[in-house]
Amino acid sequence: MNALTVLLALLAACANAAASVLMRRAAMEPGQGHAATEPKDGPDDPEGPDGPDSADGPSGPSRRDRRLSWLAGAGLLAGSAVAQAAALAVGSLSVVQPLLASELLFMLAIGGAVFHRRPGRTTWLSFLALAAGLALFLGAAAPSAGRATADASRWFPVAVGVGCAVLVLAVVARLVRAAPRAAVLGLASAVLFAATAALLKEVTGRIHEGPAALAAHWTTYATAVTGLAAFGLLQCAFRAGTLVASQPALTLGDALTSTALGWALFGEHIALGARVLPETAGVALIAAGTVGLARCPEVSGEWDARPAPVPRPVAGRDGRRREAPAATESTRATPERT
């Protein structure tokens, strides 16, 4: 694996995670500044409850702060796309796309810092599982570099295969509801995101031909259309069910489909034989880590959507029961589980 490819892919994942956090902060309404500090891992968790309330105080971020957060998030999103394109230009599809799953790790770290939350034990275990799974899979698979561009004759059968897969998944999604539907739609969007990355790699491989040649080549426009379709399916997946249902299908589907497309289009290869066992173990760890992280508030977005804590009655010096003040930036309340 090329070190520059890994660095650029991780930079793209980090920028995308930061963009998601900032845009969630920008979407906060006044009054959402308080977040309940309910422990996520049980009352006996040695890590304790989540950290203090939002760093923006009880009234949430100001309108100006929300606008600045949105602009910064949009800029980081654009930077993420540039970093991904650069990674695909110098590296293989089967390395870059699996590494983008590390976005969940960066989102946990950045979100915890921005919203002043302390992850619990289960969240950290999920973090380690995903990180170890990525390292194990990529280390065992050792994907080869492949070609910079694909043979023109390979695009049509691949396009037919991708189209049929998405069509079948869309039909299945209409037959199921709730979590299964979210998972199926998440997988369909993953297939299209992988196809978008393959098209983007083709475009970056033709940059040396000049702007005029890129403007005249069909892959430039196919990249935009496929990317928009993938984004639309992802929004449908989010509306159909929880992140816990859609995120594992999205993460694993993108990584595995990208590996297949890298082989079919660009001649990339991964090691098989005795290495299949550690590769499978890596995929299993990625799945377990993704499910665990999708449940944590730092990734699911519950950090900025919980109601303010209800004051608890406490006994005063005279024995009478009074209501304790709600938690503020300088105080920390630990409400009982409901």
The confidence score (pLDDT) of residue 40 equals 44
Which stretches does DSSP call E strand in 26-97?
none
Q: Phi/psi zone of residue 60: left (φ > 0), alpha (ψ -120 to 50 degrees), beta?
A: left
The confidence score (pLDDT) of residue 288 equals 94
The confidence score (pLDDT) of residue 244 equals 83
41-86 pLDDT tens trace: 444 444 444 444 444 555 556 778 888 888 998 899 899 999 999 9
Strand partners, 313: 323
The confidence score (pLDDT) of residue 117 equals 77
Q: Is 143 exposed, middle or buried (0-12, 13-18, 19+ CB in 10 A)?
A: buried
pLDDT above 90 coverage of the chain, percent: 56
226-270 pLDDT tens trace: 999 999 999 999 899 887 889 899 999 999 999 999 999 999 999
Report the distance separating Cα 33 and Cα 23, nearest Å: 15
146-197 pLDDT tens trace: 999 999 999 999 999 999 999 999 999 999 998 899 999 999 999 999 999 9
- Other CB atoms within a 10 A radius of the CB of residue 300 amount to 15
Return the CA Rg of the chain.
22
What are the backbone dihedrals phi and psi of residue 236, each rounded to the nearest 5 degrees, phi first? -65, -40
The confidence score (pLDDT) of residue 120 equals 82
Report the distance separating Cα 18 and Cα 297, nearest Å: 15
Mean pLDDT of 198-221: 96
